[in-house]
Amino acid sequence: MSVSSISRHGGQILVDQLTIQGCKRVFLVPGESYLPVLDGLHDSDNIEVVVCRQEGGAAIMAEAHGKLTNQTGVCMVTRGPGATNASCGVHIAHQDSTPMILFVGQVDRNSIDREGFQEVDYRQMFAPLAKWVAEINDIERIPEYISRAYHVANSGRPGPVVLALPENVLFARADVADAKPAVNVEAKATIQDVESMLQSLYLAERPLVIVGGGGWTAQATIDLATFAEKTGLPVATSLRCQDYLNNADSHYVGDVGIGINPSLAESIKTADLIILIGCRMGEMTSSGYTLLEVPNPKQKLIHVFSASEELGSVYRPDIAINASQKSLLSQLSDMPLKLTDRWSQWTTALRLNYLQYCKPVSMPGDANFSKIVSDLSNYLPSNSIITNGAGNYCAFVHRFYSFKDYSTQLAPTSGSMGYGVPAAIAAKLERPDVPVVCFAGDGCFLMHGQELATAAQYNVAIIVVVVNNGMYGTIRMHQERTYPERVVGTDLQNPDFAALARAYGGYAEIIDKTEDFEGAFNRARNQNCFSLIELKVDPEALTANASLSKIIESSIKKLSVIADS
């Protein structure tokens, strides 16, 4: 531990701690409430400052950075409105199990509890959204709090931490000792855990592995592939974790999430053993808690999770293993496991169903989004990063794009709209030589489309594909299913997205035919700035399974039957 030989203001002490903890980049919107921190960043040779246009975008970039790198993302915002805007990124980090720290400026301690200008009690505000929320009220404890924040964000189930910074603490000066770098605390599987799991596995006739959650590493995904190869097991991934196993691997059988392959859903229900590794099996992954019965699944359940409080919280596992996926899979990959031939037919059938489900489908209109995504998957390099937010368009990306490499999918399991553009910027800053493509619906894009100004400022050459159908598609789908032909609040009047992108300083095209997409995309790839392709799709092409008219027709018939009964 180093000891400062000179007095430093609180902002400088904080920046010095971030450097010690290995922080390389912070995403922020500046504010007068944390001016000393900005001053400390001025002289930092180790930390890159990325100035964003809205605190929500900054927080999403920090979360995406954490998800992509498996390192703690750092965001800084001002008090009051800055914090409330940034809360969406904290919520994403919480539900997606991403290590992240949000620093929020706070009023002077002398003004606290007087409802000072932009004062908020952040402990109450962020309590349901973060692993830990605290306020640093003593300058000499800044190193302690920063070190603890890094420990908490990365231990057990990773997640966000929020630290409030009173102005007078940041402006004060002190000679304080720096803290040591945080040490990652990892729950590790015992040999008894592994043996219990394998005993149950070898007794199963129809086992299925489902992997997901936060805290994965490249080595863990390699060990997963080795484990699947040695045993012949089928492996599925939870919502928006499709890059944990090469989708071309013969053991990969699809994603368990929104728009799940009905055949895969049925196979989960009829499996006699489910092995959950790293994932919570939350509402979206469990299809509204219907794939496994709550609290006692019909299938034998083995649940492997890094935080003990999750085990048994919804589902009662037959075997609960409090361990990180890294620890468990490392041991399994090194063991001389036996290949069980009786699973080969089961795995092959699941794999064939997946391959059939991923084939492009016919769709209304001249622009077939399923074919466009499938073609893009075939000609993009395997290390390309794909980002998206939330909306019906996402189901096309998840279904028809094949993820090959680890850490190439950035999408919010929390279902947060507007995620794609900020996430793509964070990804391109981290991996400038890798293609980064953002898919966004017309409603989704405008949630954080202003961050294209950030892309222009830092010359980040991402490619944004805006899928424009003139509506909030997901809500319209649910609306028509529940209250057919009673449309309220889902129609959109959109700007000229291409003109908007050009105004920000980017390259843009508008296309409305399938055959025009590849040429437009290749032209976008050759630009030295960000690019936007506005893809106009037929509103009828609402889902890959049913057109808008078919959804309305089916709903009317259903309501008619109910009325007659």
Domain ranges of the chain: 8-174, 191-357, 369-556
Q: What is the pLDDT of residue 80?
A: 93
The verdict on pTM exceeding 0.85 is yes
Q: Which CATH superfamily is domain 191-357 in?
A: TPP-binding domain (3.40.50.1220)
Length of the chain: 565
182 DSSP 8-state letter:
P
Residue 497: per-residue pLDDT: 98
Tokens of 102: 């949000």
Q: Give the pLDDT score at 111.
A: 66
Nearest-angstrom CA–CA distance, 497 and 481: 30
Sequence-separated (6 or more) residues with CB below 8 Å from residue 336:
none
Q: For residue 560, what pLDDT is reported?
A: 84
- Distance (Å, whole) CA 463 – CA 437: 5
How far is 378 from 386, CA to CA, in rounded Å? Answer: 13
Name the residue type at position 3: V
Residue in 228, 249, 245 with CA at minimum distance from that of residue 237? 245
Number of other residues whose CB lies within 10 A of the CB of residue 509: 18
For residue 467, list its beta bridge partners: 441, 535
Are residues 467 and 437 in contact, defined by beta-carbon separation less than 8 angstroms?
Answer: no
- What's the sign of the alpha-carbon dihedral 105, 106, 110, 111? positive
pLDDT at residue 338 in the model: 77
409 phi and psi angles, rounded to 5 deg: -120, 120
Distance CA 45, CA 31 (A): 22
Question: Does 191-357 match 369-556 in CATH topology?
Answer: yes
Across the chain, which has 565 residues, the per-10-residue mean pLDDT values are: 72 98 98 96 96 98 97 96 97 97 86 71 95 97 98 96 96 96 93 96 96 96 96 96 98 95 97 97 93 97 96 97 97 87 94 98 97 97 98 96 98 95 98 98 97 98 97 92 93 97 98 98 97 97 92 90 80
Task: Provide the Cα torsion 57, 58, 60, 61; round to 10°.
Answer: 120
Output helix, strand, coil percentages for the chain, rounded to the nearest 5: 45, 15, 40
- Please give the torsion angle defined by the CA atoms of residues 106, 109, 111 and 116, in that order, rounded to the nearest 10 degrees: 10
Q: How many CA atoms lie within 13 A of 545 on its CB side?
A: 12
Backbone angles phi, psi at 313, to 5 degrees: -70, -35
Q: Which residues contact 94 (CB under 8 A, 6 or more apart)?
A: 129, 130, 131, 159, 160, 414
Question: What is the structure's pLDDT at 6?
Answer: 86
CATH architecture classification, 369-556: 3-Layer(aba) Sandwich (3.40)
| Residue 96 CB coordination number (10 Å) | 27
CA 242 to centroid of chain Cα atoms: 11
Quick one: fold of 8-174? Rossmann fold (3.40.50)
Which residues share a beta bridge with 50? 27
Q: What phi and psi, each to the nearest 5 degrees, are found at residue 228?
A: -65, -40
